[in-house]
Structure 1
């Protein structure tokens, strides 16, 4: 392992053998359990249009969640460094995935809509600028090949 390198591991266990394995496209479920040592399991599946279970997380949900949470955590750090006290943060993120017509596709856009409340009105401008720094620092946003845009609002108590 090199300096600054971080490694992650998980186990993905398919639970979808309904008796005949993958003998046909409709003959198996897409249910998966994602496990990381010491953490609660995540029940996952495909998205509903791809024969998945709507009640479980799907890969598209997880990617959007990773981008949203990474920006949030990077933003909190950026605010601390410029003396902004965040008292509330809520993001209503959306993403667009487009199928390519050949059984594949890709995300083409993600829009994060953070609603931030800071402790004092004098912090609003610095809090607004901190979103650009958070985007620069976000490991996940720096790892994708599509735009991750921000439409933030910042208010104060």
Structure 2
């Protein structure tokens, strides 16, 4: 399946409180993100940057994209290796550092997948599948910082 894939969305700033961006504290960082045919995502800046902590922020979304991409790539790698995954949970974390000049960058994201497979004989292949998943993950391959994996694999039977 070689080819180029395009993705489109619309971001609309909804934080004008009546005076636009007349001052740094005079507007909300609220954003509505929509993709045709999908539920709207309510977003904002992170709380330290005057955002609404009840909404998704770009940093959350980046870590979420890495977590989900690895999960989906991992499930595919497991099918290919004959591993039956019964459950998968990831408590992903990311570290972003400000540069003191108004910008910054992520320095790393660590995924913590907790996988349960159908049989103990599948554990070794399930652990190796994380390496394959990392190689296949489009999002991780697009980052300029390390995406680490600290996986735990257990068996039901």
Same fold (TM over 0.5): yes
1:47 aligns with 2:28: no
Compute the RMSD of aligned alpha carbons.
0.5
Q: 1: distance between equivalents of 2:104 and 2:61?
A: 16
Aligned mates of 1:83, 1:111 — CA distance in 2: 26
TM-score (norm. length: structure 2): 0.98
Q: Deviation of residue 120 (structure 1)?
A: 0.4
Dislocated runs of 4+, deviation >3 Å: none
TM-score calculated relative to the size of structure 1: 0.98
**Which residue pairs with 1:135 in the alignment?**
134
SS in 1 for 2:7: coil
Equivalent residue number for residue 34 of structure 1: 33
Cross-structure match for 2:144: 145
- Give the Å deviation of 1:71: 0.2
Indicate yes or no: 2:57 matched with 1:65.
no
Matches within 5 A, 1:84-95: 84-95=83-94
Quick one: distance in 2 between partners of 1:142 and 1:4? 16
